[in-house]
Amino acid sequence: MKNTLSSRRFIVMGIFITVGIIYIIRLLFLQVFDDSYAQLANRNALRFVTQYPARGLVYDRHGELLVYNELVYDLMVIPRQVKQVDTNLFCKLVGITKEEFIQKMTKARTYSTFAPSTFEKQISKEDFGPIQEKLYLFSGFYSQSRTLRYYPKALGCHVLGYIGEVSEGMIEKNPYYKKGDYIGMSGMEKYYEAILRGKKGSKVTLVDVHNREKGSFQNGKYDTAAVSGENLYSTIDLKLQEYAEKLMANKRGSIVAIEPSTGEVLCFVSAPFYDPNLLVGRVRGENYMKLLKDPAQPLFNRAIMAEYPPGSIFKIAQAMIALDMGVIGPGQGFPCDKGLVGCHDHPSATSVREAIKMSCNPYFYRVYQKIIQQKVVNNKVDNKYGLALWDQDMYRMGFGKKMGIDLPGVLSGFIPDTNFYNKWYKYNWNFFTIFSNSIGQGEVGVIPLQMANFAAIVANRGWYITPHLVRYFGDENVKKRNTKYVKKNLSMIPQEYWDIASEGMWAVVHEGGGTARRAKIDDIAVCGKTGTAQNIGADHSVFICFAPKDNPKIAISVYIENAAGGGGTWAAPIASLVAEKYIRGEVLRKEVEETYMNAAPCQTLPLRRVAKSGSSE
């Protein structure tokens, strides 16, 4: 027994001695033969700097630069390393007060005394030069470079969007982002964030006791390179965008233009707009609050976020649905009976083409009635059946659903269905409850993008490709595209009926009795439809068109808010100027151009008066 215990004791002692020898050898290796861990532990001697990638550039359809990057510097601080700062000299260099210095240091210490914080953001390279020369005097402070967006033409703010610093909520949702990072906040910057942002890198730098960098740690062994973001090649025509913004400079509303054959957005204007450079750099916060408080809401993207009554442009969709259902024929006539709904003075329409040309309210009242009341069961009209079919066709034309454009925040508009009316009227509704839908009023709501897309559908005689703003992304050698934006979406309505719509729209502009004679362009066949939408305050002026009539190159929607006079007075001539600019490359109607560029038709905000009923265009 005694020998057994003695043997066990020696075994246990042997194990402890062996483990001890292993630890001694390992410590000897770490401390004598390899000093990397010792240096890594010495946080005062090392500086870990994030290498921010350059965001991808954005080009127009012809290769013109819309957005590029400029170098700026963030002044960083590690509070634990700050020693005996000459605050007077420091504040003078940075351009802040002593109170601001104390406030910023307190904020940095609250975040962490060991981790770096941004002390002063986005200092331009010109302003940072003098700071860089004296930075060695201030221990704990160092610079970190990054790039910021710059907009050479100061156009397309609602299309391009802007970037801003990530919030705590954003960091929680996506661990890629850290405090001080920037992210796309709106427009293409937000939608294509994952493509534009690139990939961050890091660099470990040796620093001496005087806060001077002494080179990379271990020859960059632990460094990782930043990878630049990919470029976007947009569908926007820079010259057309610039021209459209000039037309909308003193107005509220939108212009959206689409190439019908491809769905590519040629120009995209929401007015009022702003210089996108205002939301860049150290003045961003102050400028953002000014824009946010502006009663005209320049930050609001009306082209995709404003839901309006479409007015009379909706009559074309009503006619197409009715023809397809067979409830009317191309030569169907209805009297202009103003006892049903108000209308302007014109002869009664004897065909769909004439009804579109004259924009007859009673005519389309009857058309919608035939759609809704087409089924009778047990001597009782089944309004639900007709409305359900109407809904289905409206959805196929892009109404009542999100269009799928490559922008965030897009509304779907609203096409009322049986569930809505059952809930709203507690099942007690019929055609006479909802007849206002017939002329684009009532519960119907659309966004300007949907209006432009509908013009493209007529131009294509019954189909569309989802509108989009980016043709390709990547680099010059390897360009990728989203296959979502090549598929045709079919209305399922025969081309022969769309031919009638295009003929009627041509007559709106070119024949006597048409409501948009001011949209006429010599030698260019413009097909259009006016609208006057009732709302709070003065009526909205609405117009959609495409041109030329055969082999169309452009489809346009123009929406001018609170511009009394109707679609033919304001929206139609503005749309025709955009069409002429794109097709000809120049506008020959200089007097018309000057008139509408200088005009300010929109009713002054805030609006209080409710518009009268009976609008007919």
pLDDT in tens, 10-34: 666 766 677 667 666 665 655 554 5
Cβ–Cβ < 8 Å for 412, 304: no
Token pair, residue 190, equals: 């937000």
Any bridge partners for residue 474, and if so which?
A: 231, 479
Asked whether residue 601 carries a pLDDT value surpassing 60, the answer given is yes
Cβ–Cβ < 8 Å for 533, 615: yes
For tokens 């033969």, the residue is: 33
**Greater confidence, 206 or 162?**
162
Beta strands in 458-597 (DSSP E): 463-465, 470-474, 479-480, 488-490, 527-533, 540-547, 554-560
Relative orientation angle of helices 314-325 and 361-372, to the nearest 10 degrees: 40
Cα–Cα distance measured from residue 50 to residue 224, given in angstroms and rounded to the nearest whole number: 9
Lowest mean pLDDT among 61-70, 172-181, 291-300, 325-334: 172-181
Cβ–Cβ < 8 Å for 432, 453: no
Cβ–Cβ < 8 Å for 254, 305: no
The whole-number pLDDT of residue 481 equals 85
The whole-number pLDDT of residue 26 equals 63
Asked whether residue 66 carries a pLDDT value surpassing 60, the answer given is yes
3-state secondary structure 126-139: HHHHHHHHHHHHCC
pLDDT tens figures, 372-409: 999 999 889 999 999 999 999 999 999 999 999 999 99
Cβ–Cβ < 8 Å for 165, 182: yes
* 260 residue type, one letter: P
**At residue 424, what are phi and psi to the nearest 5 degrees?**
-70, -45
The whole-number pLDDT of residue 126 equals 87
Cβ–Cβ < 8 Å for 81, 208: no
Q: State whether the Cα torsion 128-130-133-134 is positive or negative.
A: negative
Asked whether residue 285 carries a pLDDT value surpassing 70, the answer given is yes
Instruction: Confirm whether pTM is higher than 0.75.
Output: yes
Question: Strand, coil or helix: what is 463?
Answer: strand
**Greater confidence, 476 or 90?**
90
Cα–Cα distance measured from residue 263 to residue 464, given in angstroms and rounded to the nearest whole number: 7
Cβ–Cβ < 8 Å for 235, 470: yes
The DSSP 8-state label assigned to residue 206 in this structure reads E
Band of residue 614 on the pLDDT scale cut at 50, 70, 90? very low
The whole-number pLDDT of residue 612 equals 35
Q: Cβ–Cβ contacts within 10 Å for residue 428, how many? A: 9
**Greater confidence, 121 or 162?**
162
Token pair, residue 241, equals: 């965008």
Rg (CA), the chain: 33
- Domain architecture of the chain: domains with CATH: 46-160+190-233 (3.90.1310.10), 238-278+301-598 (3.40.710.10)
Cβ–Cβ < 8 Å for 393, 324: yes
Cβ–Cβ < 8 Å for 255, 80: no
For tokens 């460094």, the residue is: 223
The whole-number pLDDT of residue 6 equals 58
Cα–Cα distance measured from residue 519 to residue 531, given in angstroms and rounded to the nearest whole number: 13
Token pair, residue 18, equals: 């062996």
Q: What average pLDDT does this structure show over 147-152?
A: 91
The whole-number pLDDT of residue 611 equals 34
27 by Cβ neighbours in 10 Å (0-12 / 13-18 / 19+) ranks as exposed
Cα–Cα distance measured from residue 566 to residue 5, given in angstroms and rounded to the nearest whole number: 108
Band of residue 210 on the pLDDT scale cut at 50, 70, 90? low
Closest C-alpha among 452, 539, 545 to residue 501: 545
Element (H, E) at 66: strand 65-77
The whole-number pLDDT of residue 114 equals 82
Q: What average pLDDT does this structure show over 496-520?
A: 96
Any bridge partners for residue 143, and if so which?
A: 75
Beta strands in 208-259 (DSSP E): 213-216, 231-234, 253-259
With pLDDT > 70 as the criterion, what percentage of the chain qualifies?
89
The whole-number pLDDT of residue 43 equals 47
Band of residue 41 on the pLDDT scale cut at 50, 70, 90? very low
The whole-number pLDDT of residue 402 equals 95
Band of residue 224 on the pLDDT scale cut at 50, 70, 90? confident
